[in-house]
Amino acid sequence: MAAETKTETLYGLMTEFSDVKSLMAAATRCRDEGFTRWDAHTPFPVHGLDQAMGIRGTRLPFIVLGGGLTGLSLATLMQWWMNAVDYPFLISGKPLFGLPANIPIMFELTVLLSAFAAFFGMWTLNGLPQLYHPLFKSRSFRRATQDRFFIVVEATDPKFQLEKTREFLGRLGGSGVEEITESSED
């Protein structure tokens, strides 16, 4: 059995900021510079950061709408099938399928499938579950949940060139540039 070797590959470069104002300015400059595979990490939601990063709107509302319409359609078809086709039972001359009596079930299934679509849609769009990330190895990144702000440019970005990107991040006003590596077993 051959011995496994671990190789370290560059994931990207990270720079740290101490306040929101400098992070926002740096995010705008990263966007204007043309980087596409980069992210900002903050200890709390920062209003306007998505615009500064140039992030487009999410597709989640359309996914939730699709889930809701699917729930509505399934509830309607299920009740029509059960009442008018599968077990037609006339009571007091009422129609086999009456819409008012079925509205509560239609509403409930619409809400249920909308909630499932929102939950699983968010997981999918956010790339979850992600139990490991190369940034977790960085000692300084541990403060991302306390009081520090970070910008990370991935090495897979088309504009990424190690020295030029390092110089660019250094000019943003952060407190140093750190290389982030990821391990892979061969």
Tens place of pLDDT per residue across the chain (186 aa)? 556 677 889 999 999 999 999 999 999 999 999 999 999 999 999 999 999 999 999 999 999 999 999 999 999 999 999 989 998 888 888 888 889 989 999 999 999 999 999 999 999 999 998 888 999 999 999 999 999 999 999 999 999 999 999 999 999 998 999 999 998 775
User: Quick check: bond before 88 cis, omega within 30?
Assistant: no
User: Quick check: bond before 43 cis, omega within 30?
Assistant: no
Outline where DSSP puts E strands in 18-102. 38-41
- Can you read off the two tokens belonging to residue 84? 């008018």
Total residues found in the chain within this entry: 186
Confidence (pTM): 0.78
Determine the Cα–Cα distance for residues 157 and 180; give it in Å rounded to an integer. 14
Determine the Cα–Cα distance for residues 26 and 15; give it in Å rounded to an integer. 10
